[in-house]
Amino acid sequence: MPPESQKMESEVHITYDDQQKINKFARLNAKYEDFKEEIQGRKSELQNLEDAISELMLCDETNQIMYKEGEIFLYKDVSNAQNSLEEYKHELLTVAANIEREIATLKEQIDELKAHLYAKFGNNIHLEMEE
Amino acid sequence: MVDEEKKVSHAGIPQAVFVEDVDSFMALSANKGNAEKVLRRLDEQHNKYKFMELNLLAKRKRLKNQIPDLERSMDMIRLLKKHKAESGEEEILTEFLLSEQLYSKAKINPKNTVYLWLGANVMLEYTLEDAADLLSKNIESAKQQETTIEEDLDFLRDQFTTTEVNMARVYNWDVKRRQALNNNSS
């Protein structure tokens, strides 16, 4: 039986399939937020690291510096510390790139679902994220 | 009456049943067209889901803190190993954390063993190799747990999204019914 709509535009029949899509949308959205939060943390970590590296360049090469590892500080040569920092930075960059990629894929999927759901439900559905 | 709405599943999270057709759903003997009652029941269910989500989120947060801790211990063991390979018996000079905000110089004699805190006031001596093995096993299982929690959260999210949609539709159904009633009586 076709829905006797017309008089009420808001009456669009929601099928099981639509529900699955809505669920998926909510799911992806939550993931997206999680990743966003994570990338933020990584980015500030990276920033600190950059600062440390440039600070280190101003250091006297013959000095020993204290390098924080876990909960203790180690004494390291400047060049040694530089290597450690660069290594760490490289690692962090890889991690951050992976997260960025995940975010991009998620965004794509989210946009696709969004387009589909808006096409079907028009103004009856609200899919924007709260920023 | 609630039983027919819930099926056992995922980590004891009851499944929210999608309502295909609101008219026939409301005509069910359990609902008798009483939108208020149905809404209240759905709302209750929704609250339960939210409560479960809170629990899972707390668990996830704990794991998210735990994993970096484990990884830091792992880093230290790696450091000890590396030092031993490169400088042999030479002492490691450190500033050691005595208390929050309080450090003191400490020399560490490189040894082949470390002590791991196992909890319940027990510390056990391990060789560097064994300690690394144990830690990596712990890291792995923590990550495994994290994945499981993520899956449960996903499932849970589906359930309360479905419930939310159900609520909106029952509500709309009721509005429409009232309007129809008004039109008829006037």
- pLDDT tens digits for range A29-39: 999 999 999 99
Whether the pLDDT of residue B20 is over 90: the answer is no
Q: Chain B residue closest to A14 (CA)?
A: B20
Beta bridge partners of A65: A76
- Tell whether A66 lies on the interface with B, counting CB pairs under 8 A: yes
A95 vs B contacts (CB less than 8 Å):
none
Q: What's the pLDDT score for residue B186? A: 66
Mutate to test the interface with A, among B74, B91, B93, B150 (most CBs of A within 10 A): B93
Check whether B3 has a pLDDT greater than 60.
no
Mean pLDDT (whole number) for B69-85:
88
pLDDT, tens digit, 9 for 90 and up, residues A29-69 = 999 999 999 999 999 999 999 999 998 888 877 778 888 88
When pLDDT is averaged across residues B103-113 and rounded to a whole number, the result is 86
Query: Higher-confidence residue: B142 or B92?
Result: B142
Cβ neighbors of A9 (< 8 A, separation 6 or more) are: A122
pLDDT of B10: 67
pLDDT band at B63 (very low <50, low <70, confident <90, very high): very high
Arithmetic mean of pLDDT over chain A: 83
Q: What pLDDT does residue B6 have? A: 43
| Residue ranges covered by each domain of chain A | 16-124
- Report the C-alpha gap between B124 and B119 in whole angstroms: 10
- Among A7, A14, A106, the residue to mutate for chain B (most B Cβ within 10 A): A14
Q: What is the pLDDT of residues A85-122, one digit of tens each?
A: 999 999 999 999 999 999 999 999 999 998 888 888 87
User: Is A23 touching B (CB cutoff 8 A)?
Assistant: yes
Q: Specify the pLDDT at position B97.
A: 87
The H or E element spanning position B143 is: helix B128-185
Instruction: Pick B106 or B29 by higher pLDDT.
Output: B106
pLDDT of residue B89: 78
Tell me the CATH number for domain A16-124: 1.10.287.370
Going by pLDDT thresholds of 50, 70 and 90, the confidence category of residue B80 is confident
DSSP state of B89: T
CA distances for A19 relative to A24, A102, B40, B110, angstroms? 9, 24, 21, 61
A-chain residues within 8 Å CB-CB of B157? 23, 26-27, 30
| Residues contacting residue B80 through CB under 8 Å, at least 6 positions apart | B110, B114, B128
Q: Which two tokens stand for residue B164?
A: 């939310």
* Mean per-residue pLDDT, B50-76: 92
Q: Which residue has the tokens 């093995």?
A: B133
Q: Among candidates B87, B67, B97, which has minimal Cα distance to B79? A: B87
**Amino acid at position A61, single letter:** E
All residues at 6 or more sequence positions from B94 whose CB lies less than 8 Å from its CB, including other chains: A72, A73, A74, A75, B105, B106, B107, B108
Helix ranges restricted to H, chain A: 16-57, 78-121
Q: Are the beta carbons of B157 and A69 separated by less than 8 Å?
A: no
- In this predicted structure, what is the pLDDT of residue A129? 62
Domains (range + CATH), chain B? 20-132+155-178 (1.10.287.370)
Cβ-based contacts of B172 with chain A (< 8 Å): 10-11
Q: How far is A54 from chain B (nearest CA, A)?
A: 23
Measured CA to CA, the distance from residue A2 to residue B143 in angstroms comes to 50
* B113-151 per-position pLDDT tens digit: 899 988 889 999 999 999 999 999 999 999 999 999 999
Query: Which pLDDT value is given to residue A45?
Result: 92
Q: Which of A10, A26, A70 has the CB atom closest to B161's CB atom?
A: A26
For residue A11, what pLDDT is reported?
60
- The answer to whether the CB of B40 falls within 8 A of the CB of B31 is no
Asked if the C-beta of A41 comes within 8 angstroms of chain B's C-beta atoms, the answer is no
Instruction: Identify the pLDDT of residue A5.
Output: 33
| CA–CA separation, B103 and B79 (whole Å) | 20
Per-residue pLDDT, A9: 42
Share of chain B above pLDDT 90, in %: 38
Statement: residue B93 has pLDDT above 70? yes
Residue B76: both structure tokens together: 């230290």
* pLDDT for residue B12 is more than 70: yes
Q: Does the distance separating the beta carbons of B103 and A69 come in below 8 Å? A: no
Give the per-residue pLDDT at B51.
93
Which residues of chain B neighbour A19 with C-beta distances below 8 Å?
A: 18, 162, 165
Minimal CA–CA distance to B82: which of A76, A33, A42, A79? A76
**B165 neighbourhood in chain A, CB within 8 Å:** 14, 19, 22
Q: For strand B113-119 and strand B102-108, is the pairing parallel, antiparallel, or unpaired?
A: unpaired
Q: What is the pLDDT of residues A71-85, one digit of tens each?
A: 888 888 888 888 889
Separation of alpha carbons B93 and A64, rounded Å: 11
- ipTM of the predicted structure? 0.72
